[in-house]
Structure 1
Amino acid sequence: MSASDPAGTHGRFVVVPASYVYLVREAEGGTEVLLQQRGDVPYMAGHWAAGAAGHVERGEDAIAAARRELREELDVEATDLRFEFTMQRTQHADAIDERVDFFFTARSWRGEPRAVESAKCAGLGWFRLDDLPEPMVPHEAHALAHLGTDAAYLTFGF
């Protein structure tokens, strides 16, 4: 590191990791997923997104982040957290726009999902995977279209 390169990156971009968890259940009309409508937040306010998601914190792995986000955002504990796939995405802008997202599902959990961070969440709802609400966060709509497939690696924005 130097004064001209305080982060020590020497021109390399920084990748921001995040974990997403979709609670999934079988219903009479088909498979449903729990989504939250984003509240008054800087990114995609009013759009539908994963019930629980957030950045992986320093010293934390993606699985631990997924479990933490479930507790912090929905007040539930997954009893069968399952890794689905990884998504690499970009917006070809600032270094912060290079992302690696880890997607998980849970089909059983302890507790009743509720919006813990009500200022950030305008609502929660169960939706059929084949009939998602609008507007959706675009990269999450892409992820949900691949849920339950054999996809292990997705890209978005390339």
Structure 2
Amino acid sequence: MAETKWLDDREMRAWEGFLAASSLVNRRLDQQLKDDSGLSHPQYEILVRLARAPEGELRMTELANGLVNSKSGLTYQVTQMEKAGLVRRRTCPSDVRGIYAVLTETGRARLTEAAPGHVTTVREVLVDVLTPEQLDVLADGLGEVSRRLRTQGA
């Protein structure tokens, strides 16, 4: 059995900084979205993905993969959003098991309403806090972590 390679001071500082920052940023974004538009952060991200998709629709499996969300978690969020009239579901004509999430006009309007406050908060809590060089390092480093975990099926 291989011996555990413990984190050194630098590695621990990076790990603890990542944990604290990700938790605090997510908490602030969740609160801002809830207060300003009644959306959760996952719901906002669903609306963004659908708005960017051709014809405002994506297969549920593709949406779950893009959001790094479980299918059951996505199903719950889409159900809540469907009740609010923000999205609707439709079946795939060529595959009866395939379900699409479709952005409604109400959903598009809610996204348009929520986006300015959300972007302002993202800038306030992350983007404007860092230098351009720090943003590049953050994007490159976390992008690599994401790519590696996705290829491992995590």
TM exceeds 0.5? no
Larger Rg: 2
Higher strand share: 1
Q: Which has the higher contact order (CA 8 A, sep 6+)?
A: 1
Normalised to the residue count of structure 2, the TM-score between the two structures is 0.24
Normalised to the residue count of structure 1, the TM-score between the two structures is 0.23
Higher helix share: 2
